[in-house]
Amino acid sequence: MDVRTKDDFLNGQLLLIDKPLSWSSFQAVNKLKWAIRKKFNLKKIKIGHAGTLDPLATGLLLICTGKFTKTINNLQGQIKEYTGEITLGGTTPSYDLETEIDATFSINHITEQKIQETTQQFIGQIEQIPPIFSALKKDGKRLYEYARDGVTVEIKKRQITITEFEIVAIKMPVIEFRVVCSKGTYIRSLAHDFGKALNAGAHLTALRRTKIGDYNVNNAIDPLEFERALLDNNDI
C-alpha cells in the first residue's frame, strides 16, 4: 500500500484500528486525529468511529476520515463478531469488571452439557435489556449517570439478533465464547442473562471485537503504531 497523503485523508479513508485495553473509543479517534493534523499541518479534519467499544474491551474499531464519515451509519449496522470470557458465580451492577461483585452464587449444579444447552435460548431474535451502566440516553441523560447517582430507571427492552453463540472452552468458573450478533447487542447483558438462565450469577470478564461485516481485526493496527507509521512516512 502506498503512503497516504493529506488529500487521501481529506477525501476519505476507512481505518481499521485495534483498540487497546483501557482506551475509550474517543481516545482512539483523538489519537488518530492528532496524528493526522500534526502530520499535514491541518487545523481540522472530519473523523469518527463506527461503533463504540467499552474501555474494558479490545478489538476492531472502524474509524472514518473526511468524506467517508458519511458511511458511518451504514458501517454501524453491519453484523459483528466478538470473543470473550464470562465468569460464573457472581454478578456486578455493570455486568462486567467496571464495578465490584455485588452478589455471589453457587455453581455446583452447572454442567458442561447445561452450559452448551443454555446457549440455544439466546440464538435468533431475542429481547434484551441494555445495562444501566451504558451510554444510552433516557430523558436526555446517559444511563450510567443515573446508575452512578443511585437512581433506578426503567430501561426498555430492545430486539436484537444473535446468529451464533459458540462455547469455545469451559474452564470453570470461566467460559470462553464467540458470538455473532446484530447492531445494538450488549455482550455484557448477554453474559448477565446467560448467568440467570443457568440459575447462577455471571458477568463479562473479557471482550474482543473481531469482525464488523467483512472487516477483520487481523488487518487492524494499534493507534500508537498508526501514529508512528504516519509520522515516519511508512505504509499504513
> Could you tell me which residues come within 8 angstroms of residue 32 by beta carbon, excluding any fewer than 6 positions away?
15, 17, 47, 63, 65, 223, 226, 227
> Could you tell me which residues come within 8 angstroms of residue 8 by beta carbon, excluding any fewer than 6 positions away?
none
Separation CA 226–CA 209 (nearest Å): 19
Percent of the chain with pLDDT over 70: 94
Mean pLDDT of 98-120: 97
Indicate whether 161 pLDDT > 60. Answer: yes
The CATH class, in words, for 80-212 is alpha beta
pTM of this prediction? Answer: 0.92
pLDDT in tens, 174-229: 999 999 999 999 999 999 999 999 999 999 999 999 999 999 999 999 999 999 99
Mean pLDDT of 134-160: 75
Pull the grid cell for residue 186.
Answer: 450488549
Chain-centroid distance of CA 225 in Å reads: 21
Find where cell 448477565 sits. Answer: 192
Find out whether 4 and 48 touch, Cβ atoms under 8 Å: no
pLDDT score at 132: 79
How far are the Cα atoms of 97, 145, 147, 182, 202 from residue 150, in angstroms, in the given order?
Answer: 18, 9, 5, 30, 22
Indicate whether 104 pLDDT > 80. Answer: yes
> Could you tell me which residues come within 8 angstroms of residue 86 by beta carbon, excluding any fewer than 6 positions away?
174, 175, 177, 191, 194, 195, 202, 203, 204, 205
Give the relative orientation of helices 223-231 and 25-40 as an angle to the nearest 10 degrees.
Answer: 0
Known catalytic residues? 54
**Is pLDDT larger for residue 174 or for residue 134?**
174
pLDDT in tens, 66-86: 999 999 999 999 999 999 999
From first CA to last CA, the distance across the chain in angstroms is 7
Q: Which of 42, 50, 39, 49 is nearest to 4 (CA)?
A: 39
Indicate whether 1 pLDDT > 60. Answer: no
Domain covering 6-77+215-231: architecture? 2-Layer Sandwich (3.30)
Q: Which helix (H) or strand (E) holds 226?
A: helix 223-231
Pull the grid cell for residue 233.
Answer: 512516512
Separation CA 20–CA 187 (nearest Å): 18
Indicate whether 154 pLDDT > 80. Answer: no
| CATH 3.30.2350.10 intervals, the chain | 6-77+215-231, 80-212
Separation CA 82–CA 111 (nearest Å): 24
